[in-house]
Amino acid sequence: MKTIDIIGVQMDLGASRRGVNMGPMAIRYGGLCEGLEQLGFAVNDLGDIAPLVTGATAPYMRNYEQVIELNRRLYQMVAAALEQDHFPVVLGGDHSIAAGSISAAARHYRNIGVIWIDAHGDWNNEESTPSGNMHGMPFSAVCGHGPDCMVDFGGPPALVDVRRCVQIGGRDIDDRERLRMKRAGVTVFPINTIDKLGMQAVIGQAIDIAGTGTEGIHLSFDIDAIDPQAAPGTGTVVHSGLTVREAFLAVESLADSGKLVSMDMVEVNPILDERNKTAILASQLIQSALGKAVY
């Protein structure tokens, strides 16, 4: 029986709007642990970690000390889960936490791919960011394009090969960020490409890119990838997103591939939600990524 380690991260300091620190509990209330147990998993809920009360900040890396320190603790927890052959499910919190979770998976497996489902690129660094919000930087950081401090956990960082990284659903990518992504060579399937090709073709290509020649795939799923009519409980809303069925098809395909080794579900903001519908959706998406079948 496979063991799932649930790790909550009460982080909202990487974002401009507060409230996603309550996301982990909302997703749990959405039936996550019970659903995973019904799938036959042993569920080990490790509770939540929270940032330092205060810390240093800077205009182009806001609250950087708290973000980095929390990522260091998350890195250690995910590394410990993987060492026990457990599957880590990280509940955010804002997307800055992916720096810690992906770095731990990359260190453990040495060679992983990443599928990043998000309305945003998260490929800024301290020089390109228009806001200074660090939840817009982790994808860049784990691929070695900075900020380096986000992946400095002692010793040389375990970086992900950008040729094995895929961004799906982007529709609000900053101008300088877009140039950085193109220069780095990350594969991007923006929302208009999904419109043209369909999610089945897109996720199939993404799994090939991230899963071929690697030890597995880390899924980092930002709930704002989904259209806000279906997922209103998130802080950086962008209209015309993925449909709910497109989102489920993506995670169901990842489950069918057998290549998923770890995952994040981030940016659920209960303050902005409607009767916990976004958190319930996040819970159901996690379960589907781990094998819950429609039929």
218 catalytic residue (yes or no): no
Q: Please tell me the predicted confidence (pLDDT) of residue 154.
A: 86
Cβ atoms of 16 and 131 within 8 Å: the answer is yes
Low-confidence ranges of the chain (pLDDT < 70): none
Cis check for the bond before 59: say yes or no (omega within 30 of 0).
no
Task: Based on the residue annotation, tell me whether 95 is a catalytic residue of this protein.
Answer: yes
Cβ neighbours of residue 233 closer than 8 Å, sequence gap 6 or more:
26, 223, 268, 269, 270, 271, 272, 273, 274, 276, 277, 278, 279
Compute the distance between CA of residue 200 and CA of residue 203 in angstroms, rounded to an integer: 6
pLDDT given for residue 155 in this prediction: 83
Q: Is 267 labeled as catalytic in the residue annotation?
A: yes
- Cα distance from N-terminal residue to C-terminal residue, the chain: 22
Establish whether 239 is a catalytic residue. Answer: no
- List, for residues 254-284, the tens digit of each pLDDT value: 999 999 999 999 999 999 999 999 999 999 9
Q: Is 118 a catalytic residue?
A: yes
Take residue 51 and report the two structure tokens written for it. 């940032």
**Is there a catalytic annotation at residue 86?**
no
Peptide bond into 93 cis (omega under 30): yes
Sorted by sequence, the CB contacts under 8 Å of residue 199 that are 6+ apart come out as 242, 246, 249, 250
Instruction: Put the strands of the sheet holding 187-189 in their side by side order.
Output: 42-49, 3-9, 87-91, 260-266, 217-222, 113-117, 165-168, 187-189
Candidate list 48, 86, 108, 120, residue with the active-site label = 120
